[in-house]
């Protein structure tokens, strides 16, 4: 990696780190002050969220041109699912999905539920770890704490994030169906039918094979990077 590529990756990842730090700060602040008002939370975080998530398209390009050592298919899968959630569900639907939750249960007086708040927390925390790691990696050897977080935080963050994403889709489906959003019925002039409600269900079903694939890939990477001090050092040198 030459100095220009290194400088670019440091800048790119640092900017995205700051963008997600802003998303997290707004999320925590609004959730604390407004006691979980999802509609207000989304209005406050909408712009930085859209910018931060859309900028991830560049990661697919980075992978495709060999600027980073990540499989294009895995990178594209992750980016595409996030973009769809933002631009295909949260932004156009909004409504009740911003304030509703899926309740998982209660333990010791604490309620466990999935909603917009859990989605934003899972996304922002995982991206802070990821972009922070990539920025440091572009500079040279990565501190062990950053390395450990990069290959350990996903164990919790991935399941929570995916469950929250599917929760948003589940809550959005009734509104998408009732409003006829992006529905084109036949017969029509171009002899083409399209039902976004059905497309959302089909995309959601792809999470069934997708999550194990991504999770298994990350577990293998974790074993490779954290499997031992010597293995970690060799892996870091190979990745740089």
Could you list the active site residues? 158, 165
Instruction: Give the helix, strand, coil percentages of the chain, each rounded to 5.
Output: 75, 5, 20
Identify each DSSP E strand in the chain by its residue range.
Answer: 102-107, 110-114, 183-184, 194-195
Cα 234 vs. chain centroid, distance in angstroms? 29
Nearest to 134 by CA among 229, 231, 235, 16: 16
Q: Rounded to whole angstroms, what are the CA distances from 172 to 120, 123, 136, 148, 162?
A: 17, 19, 38, 36, 15
Q: Is 188 left (phi over 0), alpha (psi -120 to 50) or beta?
A: beta
Helices (H), 34-114: 38-54, 57-64, 72-83, 91-93
Cβ atoms of residues 150 and 133 within 8 Å: yes
């Amino acid at each position: 990696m030459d100095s220009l590529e290194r400088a670019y990756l440091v800048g790119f990842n640092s900017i995205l780190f700051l963008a997600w730090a802003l998303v997290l700060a707004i999320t925590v602040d609004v959730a604390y002050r407004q006691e979980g008002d999802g509609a207000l939370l989304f209005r406050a975080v909408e712009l930085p969220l859209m910018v931060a998530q859309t900028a991830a398209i560049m990661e697919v390009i980075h992978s495709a041109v060999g600027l980073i050592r990540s499989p294009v298919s895995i990178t594209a899968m992750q980016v595409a699912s996030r973009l769809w959630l933002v631009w295909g569900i949260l932004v156009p639907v909004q409504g009740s999905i911003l304030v509703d939750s899926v309740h998982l249960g209660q333990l010791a007086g604490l309620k466990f539920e999935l909603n917009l708040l859990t989605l934003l927390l899972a996304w922002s925390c995982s991206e802070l770890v990821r972009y922070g790691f990539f920025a440091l990696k572009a500079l040279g050897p990565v501190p062990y704490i950053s390395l450990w977080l990069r290959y350990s935080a996903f164990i919790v963050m991935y399941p929570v994030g995916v469950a929250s994403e599917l929760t948003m889709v589940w809550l959005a489906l009734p509104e998408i169906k009732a409003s006829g959003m992006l529905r084109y019925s036949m017969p029509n002039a171009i002899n083409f039918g399209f039902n976004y409600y059905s497309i959302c269900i089909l995309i959601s079903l792809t999470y069934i094979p997708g999550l194990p694939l991504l999770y298994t890939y990350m577990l293998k990477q974790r074993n490779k990077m954290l499997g031992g001090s010597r293995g970690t050092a060799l892996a870091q040198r190979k990745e740089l």
